[in-house]
Chain A
Amino acid sequence: MSRLEVRDLTVGYEGGPVLHAVDVEVPHGELLAIVGPSGCGKTTLLRTIAGLLRAQSGEIRIGQRMVTTHGIHLAPEKRRIGWVPQDAALFPHLTVAENVAFGMLAGRGSARAARRAAKSDEVRRLLDLVDLAPLAHRAPGQLSGGQAQRVALARALAAGPELVLLDEPFGALDPMLRADLRAAVRELLRAEGVTGILVTHDQAEALSVADRVAVMRGGEVLQLGTPEEVYRTPATPWVAGFVGDAVFLPGVLHGDEVATAIGRLRAVPVADAAGLVPEDGADVTVLVRPEELRVVRADAASVADATAAHRADADRRADDGALDGIVTDVEYTGHDAMLALALADGVRLRARVTASGVVPRGTDVRVSVDGSVLAYRPEA
């Protein structure tokens, strides 16, 4: 049974809808990441689920309870959710412990009540959980950004919510802290058995932390699936480009192959949102992930390819459709490297290779594709 169900949700105002017919489902105990560029409606969706915004139409169900349906709107204070905003939003007049305690007051929030409740064991337990017990008596102004977010999370959990909503909680933190905190949040939600929704504009964060990812654009959910599904079989070229590095090539579909500038590739046609599958002989857009490109020095003295797993069958397909090119640039990131390639006929590609397989700039190489590629109907 899913914990959250959003069906056909439309939200908007005079200027037109901001969300159109959005469907989202989150199974119990899972963490869903909603990812998309600025203005895609992801925060609007989160705020509507929280009840901070009103929907025009559609339904939202949290657990067994319908909280939004047919214009009926359950106030946010009655939805039993936890809310962790981007700026942590700790109450500046309360200490860390009192902030957490404020979450347990069940509708009778006041500074005095929070002061009293701050001494309870439950507050201590929650502070231990987020590893902040020593800072219980600090004022929010004395916390770092990461600490503040952990307090905000503890406060959200204090009310015993069915659902925790996190609105870009890591947005203002530096990268090292982000990774740590991300992991901590996921662990915490799992440990508490709480369903969570995380809004972020960072696709790497979404893929790494979430059980499932919803990709939004222009007020619509383009794809909802596991991180691997979203990355491996993106619903549209745009999704592909948004969730990871992508090389797009024009091509023509011929049966289970597609003809492209880098030769004929094995292709899987993908249906678009309307369910239309590219027909035989149609123009298509081909998606190649940079790590799916195999790059071999032209002198063939040594072989550099995407993954060690591919090395075994490298020879078998060495002269199967490979093209000549030259390495025009190298972006070295430590664990791997991105090569910018220019093919003989002017097509430019990017290929990811393992760190050990880096080829210096200016090297002549041969390029081929591993496995099959996805073929999309070209976007209008």
Chain B
Amino acid sequence: MTDRVATPSPRRPWGLIAASLVAVALAAIPVIHLVVRVLSADPAELAAVFDRPRIPLLVGNSVLLAASVTLTAVALGVPSAFLLARARLRWRGAWAVLAALPLAMPSYLAAYGWLAWQPSMKGFWAAWLVLSFVSVPYVTLPVAAALRIGSTGLDDVARTLGRGPFGSFMLGTWPQIRPAVLAGALLVCLYTLSDFGGVALFRFPVLTTAIQQAYSASFSRDEAAVLAVLLVALALLVVIGEQVARGRAARRIQAAPATGRRRMTRLGPWTVPGLALLALVPAVAVVVPVAVLLGRVLTAETLQAFDGVNLAQAIGNTVLLSAGGAVVAVALALPIGVLAARHRGRMVRGIESAGYLALGLPGIVVGLSLVFFSLSVVPALYQTALVLAFGYGILFMPKAIGSIRSATGQVPTSLEDVSRTLGNSRARTWWAVTARLARPGIFAAALLAAVSAMKELPATLMLRPTGTDTLAVELWQRTDISAYGAAAPYAVALLLVAAVPAFLLSDARAGREATREAIAPDARAGREATREAIA
């Protein structure tokens, strides 16, 4: 640890910075497209958009919804993660899978299911309920991962100093998981800002619904662009806020030990409330809407002849396209994530922030910008799977950054030093050591991008090869004409397909291993040390 303060940083990683800049430039296509459109629009027309009495309401609603959904997701996600990672729990693996399951649920499908059951649901509370519960896993998963590698040493110290269990947790464990909480909250917040399906179905007017109206009623892309720029501005504030908060957390966490003992909490009288919490989230986000939709299958008179081939094709398209999107997303996110994990400074922060911005935009805006981009640059590939997968990559790259950043950050740089001195080049070291050890995190990043791509609709509608239907497209086609019966098989298929990455992300196995490890290695190392000392 000596000299850490005064150690000069190694040479600027120009290769990494260049790769990151390319990724950021690609990710910034939607934002650049918007800004260009706004700048080239008639200023009077733009001014008229801002003069509307409804604009403050729309911005206010967007902010209110994003803030309340984020807080709720954190409030539900952190205790859920604690239960999964630190409590003595029966069927931990099953609970972990259930906790991740809402990831597979598109907000529009959840909203649709709830509406089918409770048609009177509308406005803020309805949107808040569904969006909050659907996005809880964005907090639960990273926080549970952080808890699995953290230690309870400081909690124990705090307990001996007279703090209660909650106070000790805040003093000892909270600083260790804070970056994970912030990363999750960032995704939830941007996701909520950009969501259209959920808020539209519950008739809660926000910026995204206004953008959609601008396209649908006035066919005014300028007006939509102005509203979208407002959304980008909000997203920018959120991203900067997260970076500031993370910076502070990072400085504070220096003092906390990275490794050490983990104590598993016995729940005792808290067992029932704890399990109730773990059951509540998937119940609200998944079980209720799916049950209602399945119920509709049985009562619908239009249950058309079920087309198995069509469904199978849609599943195949969905899996292939989202896998392609995930590969692109990870390829774009890797340089940014690695850069953010290994280097500091204003430029690095700027690159990382820019990487996140597109996540705050609704799919239709991103889709249109990619239409423009692909027609201008690679017209031959327009409306091919390649461009769509690329579009998914740009849309969901931000979801991959965080996971890659934290996974890379957890690989000690001393391992890289050793590999270099043993004759391995920078590139080989990265591949054989860093990437190898960060692999679970990189894989998780790919899964997160894939599950998001499976649910994506607006950009898919524009960029897909003509005649190529994904499950989300098929579902949209059937819900739009209120053919509940026909929609249900696709809804269930989408949920099941998306549940596969969600299942892998839940890391049910890691949960079990964590339990074992929490007891085993320290004890074993201790025995070895004793034996060695004696010998």
Contact = CB atoms under 8 A, between A and B. Distances in A.
Interface of A: 11-13, 15, 18, 38-44, 47, 50-54, 75-83, 85-87, 89, 91-93, 102-103, 105-111, 141-147, 152, 155-156, 158-159, 165, 168, 174, 176-177, 199, 201
Given A41-B6, A53-B7, A142-B521, A109 B421 contact: no
B8 A12 contact: yes
A76 B417 CA distance: 9
B423 A159 contact: yes
Contacts of A77: 420-425, 429
B467 interface: no
9 contacts: A44-B3, A47-B7, A52-B420, A53-B7, A83-B422, A156-B418, A159-B422, A159-B423, A177-B532
Given A86-B414, A107-B424, A39 B5 contact: yes
B3 A141 contact: no
B423 A107 contact: yes
Contacts of B423: 77-78, 80, 105-107, 109, 159
Given A75-B426, A109-B419, A177-B532, 18 more contacts: A18-B7, A18-B8, A39-B5, A53-B8, A75-B420, A77-B421, A77-B425, A83-B421, A89-B418, A91-B415, A91-B437, A102-B422, A105-B423, A109-B429, A142-B525, A156-B422, A158-B422, A199-B2
Contact of B8 (A13, A82, A110, A156): A13
Interface string B461-491: 0000000000000000000000000000000
Contact of B412 (A13, A82, A87, A144): A87
Nearest to B424: A109
A133 B532 CA distance: 14
Contacts of A12: 8
B529 interface: yes
B533 interface: yes
Contacts of B52: none
B421 A43 contact: no
Interface of B: 1-3, 5-11, 412, 414-415, 417-426, 428-429, 431-433, 436-437, 521, 524-525, 528-529, 532-533
Given A54-B10, A110-B432, A141-B525, A42 B422 contact: no
Contacts of A75: 420, 425-426
The 3 closest A-B pairs by CB, nearest first: A13-B8, A83-B421, A144-B529
Contacts of A168: 2
A270 to B, nearest CB: 28
Given A18-B6, A93-B437, A81 B421 contact: yes
Contacts of A78: 423
Given A85-B417, A89-B414, A144-B525, A44 B8 contact: yes
A93 B436 contact: yes
